[in-house]
Structure 1
Amino acid sequence: MSQYSYSQSLKIMLIPYIIVGILWFPLTVMIEQHYDSILISQFLVIQITTAFLFLIGLYYNNTSIYDIYWKVAPMFFVTYWSRGSGNIILPFLVFFYCIKQNYTYFRFWPGLQYEDYRNVAVKQQYPNPFVFWPIIYLGFEVVPSIMIFLGHLPLYYVFTSQNPCTFCYNFSIIFTISAISIELIADYQLFPYRSKQLKGDCDVGLWRYSRHPNYFGECMYWWGQYLCQLSFGFENVWTIVGAAAIQALFSFYSIPDMESHLLKKRESYQNYKRKVVSSFVPWFRKEN
């Protein structure tokens, strides 16, 4: 059990992010005095702030200080990229996505006694702090920070391009809004089960047709960024690397790992898994 109350935990969690927000643009100005590139400056600021949050987590011996970085950093660097572009809707969607993710996280967050079960598993496997903390920093913080940069990278080229295919652009916006909506609905339907108001497996709404519809919506969001950039042409088709990397993370790590975790946690999950045959894309059930 954490030695900190919920209010103390909240301050410890949020104050570093307030500092990050205050320092983001001064750091950007300092870096751009040496590197005249918006992409380089934002990548370096992301890595500096990631290291800062890692040190805070190390000081408090809590790996989950970094947890909400995925849902905070894009609000800063996407805003910076969009300056002067006249594009309002895409930064708005990024802000809405980030705020939604943070709201969902803090609905369940009990305080600093919480650490992601995957981080706890790594700590149990590598109890030596000189091994454990470098793994956390490199594998669970540096790599994700690179992935959020690459995942949103298509938006940089959207903001610096002109004359998209109107139909394709509008489709990508609708696709992204649908992605955020699917994840929002899935999180809302899961809440009574995660908050222990209801017991057992969530088998309602979207969860009747996919075992992880929230992950499905999450991956759709990243593909939406890429589709938006494609509406301007194929010059920067290589930016698919961001959405593809995140899709691979969910397909080959997050979903299998969560499945294994839930099978160990609840005996009923095996039966739920038989009925809800799809682990990702919503699909037909198998009742018998």
Structure 2
Amino acid sequence: QHKHQLHSFWFLYGALVDLLEVVTLSNSVPVQKYAEQHELRVHNWPDVDFSGQFDVGVVVSFGCLLKEHVISRFPYGILNIHPSLLPRWRGPAPVFHTVLHGDALTGVSIMQIRPKRFDVGPILSQELYPVPEKITAEELGASLAVLGAQLLIDTLRNLPERIANKREQSKEGATFAPKVNSSMSCLVWEEQTCAEIDQLYRALGYRIPLRTMWMGRPIKLLDFVGRSQPCMSKLSYTCVQMCVDTPSNYYIQLLLSCNRC
């Protein structure tokens, strides 16, 4: 997804961007491969010498706090493309938490980064994005990557004006989006509604199979057909395909209802 932003820069060569170089944390990331294919110079962090030749820096999901002496080398600072409406969902996994919590509205924020803390800098641009029903975190991330690339280009075209009119983030409504881990994939049927389980599957299922216990055995939930409401009952059901975690890994399909649905 980060290639969308880099691809946008590539098309601006000679018009808005005179010099573009890439900094990565790993040699194997898709951004580095894209940069090498287009003959862009690549640096591996932290072995970077900017030498005062750049006007502005841009980071996307970089994951490292930058110190003040690095930020100050860029006359316009360093911008961050963040896939949420800050201050909601600060942190490393905003798209996951947007889907997990059933947010109806999200978006992209362009902010100036500050040292010592992530995602707290002033906002230069924001674009709203209504969250489609039944979208997965993977699909939402791809859509926000395209939106973020477009918003970044618009911000760079009007950068002095955007910086002059930047606004500090509100102290109200701030939420944190912690990293995704495997413990989040465990279902507790007695405590979760069908809607909550569906949101968890769409947020996490493409990366980590959801897990639960079935007849005393651990199972993985490989696929959700979706919720339905049969005429004979007011309960909501969800149909899932399960993989029983045994050496033979056999599969079953069940129609399930949660106690809180």
The TM-score range, normalised by the shorter chain, is under 0.3
Higher relative contact order (CA 8 A, sep 6+): 1
Larger Rg: 2
Q: Judging by fraction of residues, say which structure has more strand.
A: 2
Q: TM-score, normalised by structure 1?
A: 0.24
